[in-house]
Each structure stands twice: as structure tokens, then as C-alpha cells.
Structure 1
Amino acid sequence: MDEFDIIARLFAPLAQAEPGAFGLGDDAAVLTPTAGMDLVLTKDAIVEGIHFFADDPPEAIAAKLLRVNLSDLAAKGARPRAYMLAAAFPAQADEAWVTRFATGIAADQKRFGGTLIGGDTVSTPGPGFFSLTAIGELPTGTMIRRKGARAGDLVCVSGTIGDAALYVAHRLAGAAVADVALLEDRYRLPQPRLALGQALKGKAHACCDISDGLIADLGHLCEQSALGAVIEWARVPLSAAAQASLDAGPALLETILAGGDDYELVFALAPDADLAALAAITPVTVIGRFEAGQGVRVIDAGGHDVALRRTGWRHGVGAS
């Protein structure tokens, strides 16, 4: 493959909407904030064998790369504006593979917004590695932070929890799960909650997306807000597939709570917040409350603590 030909044919068309991208023909781009707006920047990478499987379709790999970064923008309440892409294509990625990758990211750019403004493409003899810097916009001073939850606030989550982690447990450990196709789709194609995130500006006291597991990411809000939290296991929203899997294998509870890859939002709301208005955008469930203390406790229907051996994913260390 010729790198410059690939860029010109497959990626430069994705830069047309942003004049400061210069059609990807320069060494850098220029991005001017819209008047009265802040730029919000985030960066996530995905690695073959860690965040996606080698046999995943290239379209899905590209889509997941963009979506996990858009999920971070959603947690801040930002609207996608632009992104920069660095792609280290694995040895098996021939021109047809790269074309499919570009097709996947183009489709999601059209779906979710934002414009490619630069990056780099290389090849590697090792596993595939893809990194993306997403740039969003929001009115000045309105970004939602992890810090800001208050004692008595509701712990809320969007969507359902645990589907992607159950699929990984099935692939790697042979866990018996229900509706593998649905779980696979949730793993490959997370849904960035952009509309909900934008609606949370001025309402959520704190927010982050759930990438490393519900307990771990809620723990980030607690740590930054100098609080603890308690969640009621029975209130955690599950898909029909996750519920059926859990009914057949109760030991999967820990996988659901700590497995990660949900890319839903966990956030703090005042007890009198208008939940119905938010739920009209994306399903929202109250699963607990913030309280004085530290760390996250999970309780069962009887109010007893649920013991967990691990709370989430730690990069470079493994499950903890």
C-alpha cells in the first residue's frame, strides 16, 4: 500500500468540512473555537487483543475507536467538532482491510458528527494499534467534571450494564451467556450518549463514562468528589440477555459490575432532578446514592454488602 495514496483516497474526503484541515495536505491543522465556546479534548487508544479481537471486522474496529472517544465527549457534555487519527495497521491489513476501516469511520463520522483534521498512518509487525484524539465544543464554562458530586445525590446510569463484559467472558473463558449476537454487538459497537451528555449540562454535578467497569468508574467520581457511594445491585439495569446469563450463572455478577466496555454514563443528580426529561432522551436508572465516606459499596436486596474480588480494569496491571 502507498501511504499517501491511501490518505488521499480514503481519509482526505473526511476532512472536507473543516477548512483548517487543509485537505490533510499539511503537517498540522488549525482549529478556531466558535465564539463563546470552549474546546474539549480527549484521547483514547485501542489495541488488538486488549480492546478488540483480531477477527473483528475492520469497520467495527474503526467505529469502536471513534465511539469510545465520543463517549468521553458525551461525559463532558460536549458536541463533536473534530478528531485526529493515528493508525498502526497490522501486517494482515491489506488495502481492502484499510478501505473497510476507512468506510467504518466515515459512516460514524456522518452519524455522530465531527471532522477528521489530521493524524498519521503506519504499519506494524505487532498487533494493530489505533489512537484517536477527539475535540468537542460546549458553551464556555459548562463542562461537566468528575468532581462535584454532593452527599445525597442520586447515582444514575444510562442504558444497560454488563453486556460487553459478558461477551468478552464468553470469548476468552467460555462463559455460558444468552444471546451472544446481542452481547457481541454491544462490545463491538458501543453507543456514545452524546444527546444525554449535552442535556446533563447544568444538571449533573459530576459525570464520567463507564469504560473500566461500573464500580471502578463510579469510584473515580467518588474519589474526585471526596465522597463514597452505595449502589443497590437489584437496581442496576440489565438487558434481557444479561439477566438471562446471570440467572443461569450467578457468578457472572462480578463480570457485569466490574467488566467494563459499557461506554454508558454514570453521573450524580440532585434528588429532585427531572429524571423523566432525561429518560426521554436515553433510558436512565437511579441505582444508588452518594454519601459521606469513600469508595463504592454494593448492597443486595436485604441491605447486606456484596463482596467483590475485583472492581474494574487497570491498564498495564490487569483486572483488580
Structure 2
Amino acid sequence: MNEFELIARYFQRPTPRALLGVGDDCALLAPRPGMALAVSVDMLVEGRHFFADVDPESLGHKALAVNLSDLAAMGAQPAWCTLALALPRTDEAWLGAFARGFYALADAAGIELVGGDTTRGPLTISIQVAGEVPIGQPLLRSGACAGDEIWVSGELGAAAVAVMARNGELVLNPETLRLCGERLDWPTPRLALGRRLRGLASAALDLSDGLVGDLGHICARSACAAVIAWERVPVHPALAGLPEVVLRQAALAGGDDYELCFTAPVAHHARVVALAQELGLQLSCIGRIEAGEGVTVAGANGDEIALSRTGFDHFAS
């Protein structure tokens, strides 16, 4: 099976929303009137972003999910994507499973694969996504203001604990390992939440590298400070019983959660609570925005909690 047969067999499907999809030198795309294109790209490298023995179906899902999470953070509706895939060899069973995971999520999210590239090399997956968001309505990192509340979706920490366990740093019982592994391998991009936060949130981003580190990007872009109340951070219930130091490191700085963190004016509190009920999604108010700079985590007694690190950095970790 050569490169072009591989593409045709596993990655070429009709793309009715695109003017032109896979098969030419470029795809041709046209956003709807009044819409801006939100574009993002993420790269996943074996041994850096995923373990070598990961299930290829879950990898196909996650490779797309982490990109869709960026669109969710901007309040965008997914439209098109491209896939660049470096493979050490052609393995039909692996490719079939990867494509199943990829397309199951693509179909659920309403996104079309319109192009890409394949080559031989160390296993590397790079996906670029494009979505539509009404002009003037995207969620940005730069809109937080002093007095705003800080919110986070879902529950945090389980994916980071799964990484610790797979690296041999923790020993978990089988059920806890299964639950944490699901959070690591099958993240859920919060697309519906992102779209509903347009006009409601003042700033937003997705949590890929850890709550404290990622929230710091909102603080930097908005020229403000953030105070998180540790007792209000929604730690995944599967982590009950783990040492407090592990819980804090996983939920505050562990990464791989792909939940949304956003700020909203206090006057919008009731609307956010109602949205959580409508979506059937846990939304937790975990702190506030203040004047100043940086992110502080406060314990139950008000004292600052020190962390050994605040998030993942590819060039420092």
C-alpha cells in the first residue's frame, strides 16, 4: 500500500461543506457570511504526548479532541480539519482503528477532513482545525476584569494521575486506573459549552497543561491576577483517598484535562448555573479575578498553597 492508496482507503470521504476536499494541492473553504474562521493546530508525538502502546482508536479520538477543545475555548463551531501523519510503517490494523476513533468524533462534532499529508518517520500526528464563529463574538483570553468569577467545567486531575500511574510513579487499584485512563485517552471537547458562553463569559481557554499555568495565560493577556480557592476545585471523585499532595499537583498543574476555564461577571452567576443545568455539565466557581498579576491558590485557612510546578512545559519538563 503506497501513500496515495493509504490516503484513499482511510482518509478520503465526501466533504459537502467544503468547496473542494482531499485530492488537490489545496482544499477550498468558504466560511458563511458574517462568520470568522477560528484556526488552530496541535502536534502529538509518540513518547511525548502519548504512550507507545496506546490503543490506536483512542489515539485517533484524542488527536482530534485536543484540537476541537481549542475551538470550544473560542466559542467556535467546528467545520474543517487537515491531518498530517508520520508513520514508521504501514500497519493496516493500526490505521483502521485510528481512523475509526478519528471519524467517530469527527462525525459527532460535524467536522470534515479536507486534506493533509503522510510520510514515513517517528509516529507523529498533527491536526489543524478550522471553525466558524460570528464576527465580534469569539471568546478571548484578554477580556477578564477584576471582580469576575473564575469557572471550570467538569472534574480535574484524573488524566494527570493516569500519566503518573503509567510512568510508575503511583500504584492505583484497577478501577481507579480504568477511570483515570478513560479521562486521559478519551477527553471530551466542550463544544456546546463553548458556543453557549459567547456573550456570557468575559474570557476563556481550554485546560491542556494544568489549571494554574493555563489560567496564568488569561491573567497575562487580561493584565490581572487570579485567586483560586483550593477547596472549590472539582477534583475527579476517582481520586478520593490519594494523598493531598498528589491531588493538588494533579488537579492544579497536571494537564490533559481539556476542560474549559472561563471568567464571567458576578452578575452572570445565575445564568452560568442555569447553563450547567441545561447542559447537564458540572460548572464550578473556583475563584475570582483581582487587580495585579499571576495566579494564587488559597487553602481553607486562606494561606497560599505552594506548588512544585504550575503546569506542563515541553521545553522545561
1:27-38 maps to which residues of 2 (within 5 A)? 27-38=25-36
1:30-69 maps to which residues of 2 (within 5 A)? 30-69=28-67
Distance 2:171 2:188 in 1: 25
Local SS of the residue matching 2:167: helix
Of 71, 75, 79, the match for 1:73: 71
Local SS of the residue matching 1:215: helix
Correspondence for 1:96: 93
User: Shift of the alpha carbon at 1:21?
Assistant: 2.9
Distance 1:201 1:250 in 2: 36
Distance 1:90 1:291 in 2: 50
Q: Is 1:251 aligned to residue 245 of structure 2? A: yes
User: Shift of the alpha carbon at 1:100?
Assistant: 1.4
On the 8 A contact 2:180/2:238 being kept in 1, the answer is: yes
User: Shift of the alpha carbon at 1:19?
Assistant: 4.1
TM-score (norm 1): 0.94
On the 8 A contact 2:18/2:30 being kept in 1, the answer is: no
1:241-320 maps to which residues of 2 (within 5 A)? 241-242=238-239, 244=240, 247-252=241-246, 253-273=248-268, 274-280=271-277, 281=279, 282-318=281-317
User: Shift of the alpha carbon at 1:310?
Assistant: 0.5
Q: Count how many residue pairs are aligned between Structure 1 and Structure 2.
A: 310
1:171/1:29 CA distance change after superposition, 3 Å: same
Gaps of 5+ in 2: none
Identical counterparts, % of pairs: 45
AA at the equivalent of 2:162? Y
1:151-230 maps to which residues of 2 (within 5 A)? 151-177=146-172, 179-230=176-227
Greater shift after overlay, 172-181 or 142-151? 172-181
Over aligned residue pairs, what C-alpha RMSD do you find?
A: 1.2
On the 8 A contact 1:87/1:120 being kept in 2, the answer is: yes
Correspondence for 1:233: 230
Gaps of 5+ in 1: none
Distance 1:42 1:94 in 2: 28
Distance 2:223 2:56 in 1: 42
Distance 1:90 1:256 in 2: 35
Correspondence for 2:23: 25
* Residues 57-116 of structure 1: CA deviation (Å, up to 9, x unaligned): 11111110100000000000000000011011234x512211211121111111111100
* Residues 122-160 of structure 1: CA deviation (Å, up to 9, x unaligned): 121x3x110000000011111110001000100100001
Q: Is 1:107 aligned to residue 104 of structure 2? A: yes
Local SS of the residue matching 2:51: coil
User: Shift of the alpha carbon at 1:278?
Assistant: 2.0
Local SS of the residue matching 2:20: helix
Correspondence for 2:10: 10
